[in-house]
């Protein structure tokens, strides 16, 4: 299918542009130019980019542009950017020690690149080790051939994009959804697209709220993202992952029903992840992991703006937040088909 092939190519294009959380300017500039080349109106603000801000359709596609990465801290040591920024913004980090180890392992033996605001690569090296300090809430990394970088310099995964038979492997979160938003506009979506920074540190909802104050055109928010699973089952089956709500808010029933109806008309399988977690779905239970229902940027926004309507549509992945996060071409195709049918009213 031509649209899916174009979507894959766009993912490959976007993952080539670094966008470490807190340091998204380079990617924002790339996206601003890319969307303008489609002939649509684009406005760039400090922490978000809005496409078709004067649209009267009321439909808004939302996706975050930031990705996990590293940063040189004030002591000149390479640190996990998520925790570094949490501390900078005074956010409490309430995570078990196992999460610190998980973070370190995601980057161990990976190649990373340091970049400046102009997109120039100013350093490159391999991650040879890590340590964590639970008291100071830090995960620190030993990166070879990286020295003399100024504090505040971001380091991103070196680009890796693999099409392996039926699978796609790269840092999918959340270039896959940004690319889908681009593809929807390219194919005729006349609503608004809102791309935000800092979702990975829980601040993107603040920028959504800011955009709503600045642009009064929002009625229905379709929030696109990846969602993690431990087993290949969900990506092999090409499932669409939905939620009825999160720990903050309930999502819009009519919008959810609209997505469900489209899935059923296209014979696409879907799951409600919050129900799976509550009911301890057998596939989740088999891996022995008890999950909480969690928080989303949409839930945080609706908690503060209950007059809004919104729902999430997510694509399942495995190896979450790594440089080889994986989904299937079937899952990607279904993600594309469902959103095209919902937004463009075209059943494929």
pLDDT, tens digit (0-9, with 9 covering 90-100), for 60-101: 999 999 999 999 999 999 999 999 999 999 999 999 999 999
Q: Hey, what are 99's tokens? A: 């999460």
pLDDT, tens only, 241-286: 999 999 999 999 999 999 999 999 999 999 999 998 888 655 555 5
Whether residues 74 and 63 share a domain: the answer is: no
| Beta strand residue intervals within 151-244, DSSP E | 154-157, 162-164, 167-169, 192-196, 220-228, 240-242
Summary mean pLDDT of the chain: 94
What is the domain count for the chain?
2
Whether residues 34 and 180 share a domain: the answer is: yes
Task: Read off the pLDDT band of 216 (50, 70, 90).
Answer: confident
Whether residues 139 and 266 share a domain: the answer is: no
Whether residues 117 and 61 share a domain: the answer is: no
In a domain, 98, yes or no: yes
Cis peptide before 174 (omega within 30 of 0): yes
Task: Read off the pLDDT band of 348 (50, 70, 90).
Answer: low
Whether residues 84 and 227 share a domain: the answer is: no
- Domain of residue 151 covers 70-157
Residues 36-40: what's their mean pLDDT? 98
Query: What predicted TM-score, i.e. pTM, was given to this entire model?
Result: 0.95
In a domain, 256, yes or no: yes
In the three-class reduction of DSSP (H, G, I as helix; E, B as strand; rest coil), residue 75 is classed as coil
Domain boundary among 157, 185, 213: 157
Whether residues 290 and 221 share a domain: the answer is: yes
Whether residues 194 and 58 share a domain: the answer is: yes
Residue found under tokens 């919902």 = 342
In a domain, 266, yes or no: yes
What pLDDT is recorded for position 293?
Answer: 78
Whether residues 218 and 190 share a domain: the answer is: yes
Q: What is the CATH number of the domain that holds 281?
A: 3.40.630.10
With the CA atoms of 326, 329, 331 and 336 taken in that order, what torsion angle do they form, in degrees rounded to the nearest 10? 120
In a domain, 304, yes or no: yes
In a domain, 132, yes or no: yes
Whether residues 225 and 302 share a domain: the answer is: yes
What pLDDT is recorded for position 282?
Answer: 57
pLDDT, tens only, 112-168: 999 999 999 999 999 999 999 999 999 999 999 988 899 999 999 999 999 999 999
In a domain, 162, yes or no: no
In a domain, 164, yes or no: no
Residues 212-220: what's their mean pLDDT? 85
pLDDT, tens only, 179-211: 999 999 999 999 999 999 999 999 999 999 999
pLDDT, tens only, 302-343: 999 999 999 999 999 999 999 999 999 999 999 999 999 999
Planar angle of CA 328, 222, 335, nearest 5 degrees: 15
| Beta strand residue intervals within the chain, DSSP E | 42-44, 48-51, 59-64, 70-72, 78-80, 111-115, 121-133, 138-143, 154-157, 162-164, 167-169, 192-196, 220-228, 240-242, 270-272, 309-317, 326-328
- DSSP annotation of 67 reads B
Whether residues 124 and 257 share a domain: the answer is: no
Whether residues 144 and 14 share a domain: the answer is: no
Query: Strands 59-64 and 70-72: what pairing?
Result: unpaired
Q: Hey, what are 183's tokens? A: 């593809």
In a domain, 166, yes or no: no
């Amino acid at each position: 299918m031509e649209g899916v092939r174009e979507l894959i190519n766009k993912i490959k294009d976007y993952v080539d542009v670094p966008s470490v959380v807190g340091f998204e300017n380079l990617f924002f500039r790339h996206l601003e130019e890319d969307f303008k080349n489609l002939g649509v109106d684009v406005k760039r603000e400090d922490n978000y980019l809005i496409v078709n801000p004067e649209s009267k359709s009321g439909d808004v596609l939302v996706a975050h542009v930031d990705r996990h990465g590293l940063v040189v801290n004030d002591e000149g040591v390479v640190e996990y950017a998520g925790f570094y920024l949490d501390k900078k913004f005074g956010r409490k980090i309430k995570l078990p020690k196992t999460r610190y180890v998980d973070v370190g392992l995601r980057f161990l033996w990976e190649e990373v690149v340091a970049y400046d605001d102009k997109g120039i690569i100013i350093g490159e090296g391999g991650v040879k080790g890590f340590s964590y300090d639970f008291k100071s809430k830090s995960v620190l990394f030993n990166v070879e051939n990286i020295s003399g970088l100024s504090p505040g310099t971001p380091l991103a995964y070196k680009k890796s994009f693999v099409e392996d038979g039926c699978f796609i492997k790269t840092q999918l979160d959340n270039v896959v959804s940004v690319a889908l938003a681009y593809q929807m506009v390219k194919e005729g979506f006349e609503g608004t697209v809102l791309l935000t920074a800092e979702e990975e540190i829980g601040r993107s909802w603040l920028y959504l709220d800011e955009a709503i104050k600045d642009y009064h055109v929002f009625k229905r928010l379709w929030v696109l993202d990846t969602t993690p699973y431990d087993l290949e089952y969900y990506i092999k089956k090409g499932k669409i992952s939905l939620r009825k709500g999160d720990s903050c808010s309930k999502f819009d029933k009519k919008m959810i029903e609209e997505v469900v109806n489209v899935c059923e008309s296209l014979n696409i399988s879907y799951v409600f992840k919050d129900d799976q977690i509550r009911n301890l779905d057998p596939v989740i239970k088999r891996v022995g992991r008890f999950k909480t229902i969690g928080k989303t940027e949409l839930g945080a926004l609706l908690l503060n703006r209950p007059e809004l309507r919104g729902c999430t549509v997510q694509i399942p992945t495995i190896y979450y937040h790594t440089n080889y996060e994986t989904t299937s071409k079937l899952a990607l195709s279904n993600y594309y088909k469902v959103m095209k049918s919902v937004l463009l009213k075209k059943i494929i």
